[in-house]
Amino acid sequence: MPTLGWIRETGLDRFWERGSEPGSSVLPTFYACRYCNQVFESIAAREQHEIEHPLLNPTMFYRDRELGATRLLINTPIQLGDIDARSVSRIELNGQLLGSVTELTLALQSVSKGLFSVTYANEALKKNLKIEVCIADPQQLAEVDQAFRTQFSTGSIAGPLLESFTASVRHCDSVNRYVDGLVRYLHGLKAKDHLSDITTFEDFDKRFNQALDSLRDYTTPLAAAVRAVIRFNRNDFSLMQNASGLPDLDRTIAFFCGNDLTSTILASPDAQLPVDQTSEFILRNLIPAFSDSTLTDIEERLTWLPVKYRSLQDTSKLNYLCFRKAVELKNMSAIEKYRKRLRHDDVFNKLMGES
């Protein structure tokens, strides 16, 4: 039986016999960068160098946000300066060559609705971007907000209410993405609270992510409140510096950022928003009773919330509430107990280190 060494030697012999002229070598002695004049002794070195060519990567920006995706929705009137580019020497709009980013902006500025294909490139790379222009009609935004409040201010998100909501705003065609974001949020709530026959609990965050994507460029108070609830679910407290419009949520967020618990503020009827059961339990049950409760009281209250409604992030929030009460009472054994439970949670582990 031939050995491994024999096979390797035979293969190398054939390589030289078939691939080179007498006195020459087919193996290159150096490897030139495909984007500049530098040369390297190995392919690995060249590849590492080429990775470090950020300025040669054509990049588009919309309102100072780098467009990493291949699709952009423009739903508010754009101004000169809203679109920018870096390392881009060629721009085409629907196959037509443009002279500058300014020309692209003016072309998009001239329409209120449309689909566009943009190609932007430099000498090394080419990228494609689909742009949808659908300028939101303020009146239609107001109609959607009013319909949402009418249908869901009680907190119920039953199927018939969802159907009634979507039917009532179907004519609002300039804000389809806005409606989609609100509906995705509601479906995320249904999944998390085990009210959906289609979406499982494990997929609730996917619906939340879709909602964030659809609502990203809308600045209405309702969109801001929905984004705040989703980020509260994810424990993304660092992204929640601005008021959500939901007083109970705002003071709870401040508490989970390590601040003292402030007094409650009466919410207006417009601040009513359906949320998941665990968030409501924290906002309406645990936080209001926190100051006057013992640690035992809080731990007892936690048993009232079925485990099936809790995500890992929810469990961390509940453990942090107990930790804060233990710190307040200087209960060292309880402090250590809840510190251990949160030791693998990056958000709360940092907060505990500051306590």
In terms of Cβ atoms closer than 10 Å to its own Cβ (0-12, 13-18, 19+), residue 209 is middle
Q: In this model, does residue 282 exceed pLDDT 50?
A: yes
In the three-class reduction of DSSP (H, G, I as helix; E, B as strand; rest coil), residue 31 is classed as strand
- Whether the pLDDT of residue 2 is over 60: the answer is no
- Do 181 and 214 meet the contact criterion of CB atoms below 8 Å apart? yes
Report whether pLDDT(332) > 90.
yes
Lowest mean pLDDT among 219-223, 236-240, 295-299: 236-240
Q: What is the pLDDT of residue 54?
A: 55
The mean-pLDDT minimum among 8-22, 173-187, 208-222, 339-353 falls in: 8-22
Residues 6+ apart with CB under 8 A from 262: 251, 254
Contact 258, 350 (CB under 8 A): no
What percent of the chain stands above pLDDT 70? 87
Separation between Cα atoms, residue 18 and residue 191, nearest integer Å = 64
Using CA atoms, how far apart are residues 124 and 120, in angstroms rounded to an integer?
Answer: 11
Judged against a pLDDT cut of 80, whether residue 3 lies above it is answered with no
Inter-residue contact 282 to 253 (CB < 8 Å): no
Across the range 110-134, mean pLDDT stands at: 94
Average pLDDT (174-189) is: 96
Q: Give the separation between CA 289 and CA 85, rounded to whole angstroms.
A: 53
Q: Is the pLDDT of residue 97 over 70?
A: yes
The secondary element (H helix, E strand) that includes residue 40 is strand 39-40
Q: Which two tokens stand for residue 272?
A: 């009513």
What distance in Å separates the CA atoms of residue 70 and residue 195, rounded to the nearest whole number?
34
Kindly list the distances between the CA atom of residue 289 and the CA atoms of 66, 148, 253, 298, in Å, as whole numbers in the listed order: 44, 30, 16, 8
Hey, what CATH class is 57-134 in? mainly beta
Least confident of 61-75, 191-205, 299-313: 61-75
Q: Is residue 138 pLDDT above 70, yes or no?
A: yes
| pLDDT digit string, tens, across residues 291-311 | 999 999 999 999 999 999 999
Tokens of 5: 């060494």
Collapsing DSSP states into helix, strand and coil, what is residue 34?
Answer: coil
Share of the chain above pLDDT 90, in %: 66
Which pLDDT does position 148 carry in this prediction?
A: 96
pLDDT category of residue 51 using cuts at 50, 70 and 90? confident
Q: Does residue 40 surpass a pLDDT of 50?
A: yes
Q: Which two tokens stand for residue 246?
A: 């939901």
In angstroms, rounded to a whole number, what is the distance separating the alpha carbons of residues 254 and 262? 9
Looking at residue 268, what is its pLDDT?
A: 53
